[in-house]
């Protein structure tokens, strides 16, 4: 592929993704961006929504709409807006997991579409935030210019892989991956807020030798290193030294797996916790705490 062809593909990716990004006016000075989620729903960064009324959304064609807040989650810095009279075509979301080293574009619409180019240079999390925990984040050297918060981190196909925010401690711009966005957006749409679950343990990733997996096909689990008093974990009978390998039918390979499951709508529900204890698989019933 020639440099000219590559350049044209990047421009096509910006054009495609830009068609799914709107301008948002919900704070005093700087406009922000938002990602079309459904025909009348837009996702953006929570910190740019500084008022609950008189929120203006401008579509790619320049049409102005009034919007209102459906729900917001300061912990992950995600807000969901409803735009009653809109009929947007939702942005295309990437179906594959992002990878470190993958080419990426920062695309925002502080007024017109703007873009910058780089790579994904780190994938991390969970990470504590000022209001809770973000299960996963993407870091890139593509520059998110002023007004890019709420805009998209986009792959070279024009698919959104994350939503930009500078709303965390230090103001360092990062992107919230699509998997986290989807979970948060669904919860906000159904409940208006995200109830954070907890079980009351500290854990770390541990390798599982082949002869100690009790028939499970996974290489790692979560070693319990402490159990809080009077916590859901203690009431369920968890012990220091247990290895968590599953929750509610989902594998637990590393701490962020547990964080993402607890950040969903499981708070307050009783589910099954799969535990390796002395090389034997046990299934404990645990009621997820809510906070």
Q: pLDDT (tens digit, 9 = 90+) per residue, 72-98?
A: 998 889 999 999 999 999 999 999 999
**Model pTM score:** 0.75
Could you tell me the fold of the domain covering 103-191?
Thrombin, subunit H (2.40.10)
Which one is catalytic: 31, 46, 47, 75? 47
Structure tokens at 87: 């009929």
Say how many C-beta atoms besides its own lie within 10 A of residue 40's C-beta.
17
pLDDT for the residue numbered 141: 92
Question: Among residues of the chain, what percentage have pLDDT more than 70?
Answer: 96
pLDDT for the residue numbered 181: 94
242 noted as active-site residue: no
Residue in 201, 229, 230, 262 with CA at minimum distance from that of residue 75:
262
Which one is catalytic: 46, 73, 77, 242? 77
The helix/strand/coil state of 116 is strand
pLDDT above 90: residue 142: yes
Q: Give the largest Cα separation in the chain, rounded.
A: 64
pLDDT for the residue numbered 132: 66
47 noted as active-site residue: yes
Are the beta carbons of 151 and 108 closer than 8 angstroms? yes
* Between 274 and 131, residue with greater pLDDT: 274
Q: How confident is residue 261, by pLDDT bands cut at 50, 70 and 90?
A: confident
Structure tokens at 62: 């320049």
Q: Can you list the positions of beta strands (E) in 30-143?
A: 32-38, 41-45, 55-58, 64-73, 78-82, 103-108, 114-124, 127-129, 132-134, 137-140
Strands 174-177 and 160-165: antiparallel
Could you tell me the fold of the domain covering 19-82?
Thrombin, subunit H (2.40.10)
Q: How confident is residue 27, by pLDDT bands cut at 50, 70 and 90?
A: very high
Q: Which whole number is the average pLDDT over 219-236?
A: 95
Burial (CB count within 10 angstroms: exposed 0-12, middle 13-18, buried 19+), residue 63: exposed
Q: Which secondary-structure segment (H or E) carries 279?
A: none
Q: Which CATH architecture has domain 197-290?
A: Roll (2.30)
Q: Which secondary-structure segment (H or E) carries 205?
A: strand 201-207
pLDDT above 70: residue 130: no
Cα 248 to Cα 287: distance, rounded to the nearest angstrom = 11
DSSP one-letter string for 65-96: EEEEEEEEETTTTEEEEE-TT----PPPBP-S
* Between 240 and 217, residue with greater pLDDT: 240
pLDDT above 80: residue 125: no
**To the nearest whole number, what is the mean pLDDT of the chain?**
91
77 noted as active-site residue: yes
The domain limits of the chain are 19-82, 103-191, 197-290
User: Same CATH topology for 103-191 and 197-290?
Assistant: no
Q: Which whole number is the average pLDDT over 211-221?
A: 85
Q: How confident is residue 214, by pLDDT bands cut at 50, 70 and 90?
A: confident
Q: How confident is residue 264, by pLDDT bands cut at 50, 70 and 90?
A: low
Cα 83 to Cα 60: distance, rounded to the nearest angstrom = 14
pLDDT for the residue numbered 266: 82
């Amino acid at each position: 592929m020639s440099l000219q062809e590559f350049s044209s593909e990047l421009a096509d990716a910006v054009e495609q993704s830009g068609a799914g990004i709107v301008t948002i006016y919900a704070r005093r000075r700087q406009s922000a961006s938002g990602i079309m989620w459904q025909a009348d729903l837009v996702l953006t960064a929570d910190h740019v929504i500084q008022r609950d009324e008189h929120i203006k959304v401008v579509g790619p064609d320049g049409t102005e709409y009034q919007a209102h807040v459906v729900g917001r989650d300061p912990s992950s810095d995600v807000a969901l807006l409803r735009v009653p009279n809109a009929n947007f075509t939702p942005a295309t979301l990437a179906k594959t997991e992002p990878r470190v080293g993958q080419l990426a574009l920062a695309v925002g619409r502080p007024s017109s579409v703007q873009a910058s180019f780089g790579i994904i240079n780190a994938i991390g999390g969970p990470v504590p935030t000022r209001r809770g925990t973000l299960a996963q984040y993407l870091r890139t050297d593509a520059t998110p210019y002023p007004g890019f918060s709420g805009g998209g981190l986009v792959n070279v196909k024009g698919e959104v892989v994350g939503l930009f925010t500078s709303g965390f401690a230090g103001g360092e711009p990062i992107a919230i991956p699509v998997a986290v966005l989807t979970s948060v957006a669904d919860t906000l749409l159904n409940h208006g807020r995200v109830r954070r679950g907890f079980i009351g343990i500290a854990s770390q990733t541990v390798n599982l030798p082949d002869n100690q997996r009790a028939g499970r096909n996974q290489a790692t689990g979560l070693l319990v290193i402490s159990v809080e008093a009077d916590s859901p974990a203690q009431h369920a009978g968890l012990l220091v030294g247990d290895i968590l390998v599953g929750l509610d039918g989902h594998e637990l390979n590393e701490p962020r797996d547990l964080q993402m499951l607890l950040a969903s709508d499981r708070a307050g529900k009783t589910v099954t916790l799969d535990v390796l204890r002395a090389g034997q698989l046990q299934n404990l019933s645990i009621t997820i705490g809510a906070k």
